[in-house]
Amino acid sequence: MSTEFCLDDWGLYVHIPFCQARCTYCDFNTVTHMGPDQHPQYMQAVTQQWMQATLPKGRLVSIFFGGGTPSLVDPPLIEKFLASVISRVGSLAGLEITLESNPGTVDLDRLAAFKEAGVNRLSIGAQAMQDHHLKALNRIHGVDDIYRAVDWAKSAGIENFNLDAIYGLPGHTLTQWQETLRALVSLQPDHLSLYRLQVEAGTPLADGVKRGALLLPEEDNVADMADWAAAILTPQGYQQYEISNWAQPGRESLHNQLYWTFNSYLGLGAGAHSFHANRRWWTLRGVRRYMLAQAAGDSVIEGEETLSFDEQMREYMWLGLRRRSGVAKHRFQERFDRLSDEVFAKTLEHLQGLGLIVNDARTVRLSERGWDVANYVFRYFVADGIS
């Protein structure tokens, strides 16, 4: 059902921080004040970072342009960057190459050009299928733009596409969410990412909620929304292969899964995160600072952490449990030369007793109930959760 990577398969993440406007809920690393004139310099810095990077020894399987709004960057710049990738790994054949897009920033020509550049998977940020919600979120597009973007993507020959949507919006009703789900399904996406709205400190959304100007739906209503996603998507053949992600069989995002399988990934661009072996590191968040440092030949790394052996095993567990298929015991053993059943004996027994996990001969995975309260399970594996 979902892909099994080789231990040393790795991915490449490229952060494109540019946006035309900032969504009310967004606390990602984005900038709205830098125009297209800045894009070449930024892509040059990204390319430079790539050329200087030490590459993991395995096989590159995925490239993901995330943002921000990667679709704002002109296709030739993406093409040029991908050429530099080819220069180091030989070929892009067989890779999943995803580009995130805002429906308000694309047209047929542009999408065709991205396809030409090598992009074979498009992620479209729909978020909602009601204009008033889109407006309230400060999205720059309407519902019509979403339909058009999907049409153009298909016309451009990008056959694999994803739609993003958010539930639990201020004033969101179950009926509206059902309407959104049905509209999304009618577009026949290969993949759907459904997120519960998170109120992040410092965002206009958080401010509105605090002031009482924005009213979030009740906890039970939001839970209903999550349950309705399953009720509508499952009959259409979608499988929830990971907590927030649904796909038609065989269309699971490779890139998304790399994060949960403890495979390496290299992050390029401002505020991008990388992981390899036992080390996580991230680059300067400030876009200008990132570009200046890169141009000056200075280090662009802002911070890093090294995971102890214990921490690695714990992370492996709770990250792996995000996938429907769970943690494959032989892979745990392969990686750590230890048995997960022994390392986490007490925790696993306890969680099984609570009915939150299924622990069979080959895998440990969340039960149906565990799926609902995944954080409850994960908390057993963070910090002093080891038994």
Look-up: residue for tokens 């298909």? 154
Is 40 or 385 the residue whose CB approaches another protein more closely?
385
Q: Structure tokens of 256?
A: 């998304």
Should residue 302 be labelled a site residue for another protein when binding is judged by CB under 8 A?
Answer: no
Closest distance to another protein from the beta carbon of 334 (Å): 21
Of the candidates 31, 55, 216, 223, which one interacts with another protein according to CB under 8 A?
223
Of the candidates 37, 219, 360, 368, which one interacts with another protein according to CB under 8 A?
219
Q: CA 162, 138, 209, 213: dihedral to nearest 10 degrees? A: -140
DSSP calls for 144-175: HHHHHHHHHHHHTT--EEEEEEEES-TT--HH
Should residue 161 be labelled a site residue for another protein when binding is judged by CB under 8 A?
Answer: no
DSSP calls for 110-134: HHHHHHHHT--EEEEEEE-SSHHHH
| Residue count, binding to another protein (CB under 8 A) | 42
Should residue 81 be labelled a site residue for another protein when binding is judged by CB under 8 A?
Answer: no
Is 79 or 302 the residue whose CB approaches another protein more closely?
302
Should residue 123 be labelled a site residue for another protein when binding is judged by CB under 8 A?
Answer: no
Q: Structure tokens of 47?
A: 């390319």
Of the candidates 89, 216, 232, 373, which one interacts with another protein according to CB under 8 A?
373
Distance from C-alpha of 302 to C-alpha of 323, rounded to nearest angstrom:
30
Of 80, 75, 81, nearest to 106 (Cα)? 75
Should residue 195 be labelled a site residue for another protein when binding is judged by CB under 8 A?
Answer: yes
Should residue 346 be labelled a site residue for another protein when binding is judged by CB under 8 A?
Answer: no
DSSP calls for 335-350: HHSS-HHHHTHHHHHH
Of 175, 201, 200, 104, nearest to 144 (Cα)? 104
Q: Structure tokens of 109?
A: 């020509």
Closest distance to another protein from the beta carbon of 70 (Å): 12
> Which residues have C-beta within 8 Å of that of residue 219, sequence separation ≥ 6?
none
Q: Structure tokens of 239?
A: 């499988």
Dihedral sign of CA atoms 5, 232, 379, 198 in order: positive
Closest distance to another protein from the beta carbon of 361 (Å): 26
Should residue 232 be labelled a site residue for another protein when binding is judged by CB under 8 A?
Answer: no
Should residue 265 be labelled a site residue for another protein when binding is judged by CB under 8 A?
Answer: yes
Is 253 or 294 the residue whose CB approaches another protein more closely?
253
Should residue 74 be labelled a site residue for another protein when binding is judged by CB under 8 A?
Answer: no
Is 25 or 161 the residue whose CB approaches another protein more closely?
25
Of the candidates 9, 45, 62, 66, which one interacts with another protein according to CB under 8 A?
66
Should residue 315 be labelled a site residue for another protein when binding is judged by CB under 8 A?
Answer: yes
Closest distance to another protein from the beta carbon of 123 (Å): 12
Q: Please give the residues from 42 up to 61 whose contact with another protein meets the rule CB under 8 A.
A: none
Q: Are β-strands 191-196 and 160-167 bridged in parallel, bridged antiparallel, or unpaired?
A: parallel
Contact residues for another protein (CB under 8 A)? 13, 15, 28, 66, 193, 195-198, 219-220, 222-223, 226, 243-244, 259, 265, 267, 271-275, 280, 282, 305, 315, 318-319, 354, 356, 372-376, 378-379, 382-383, 385
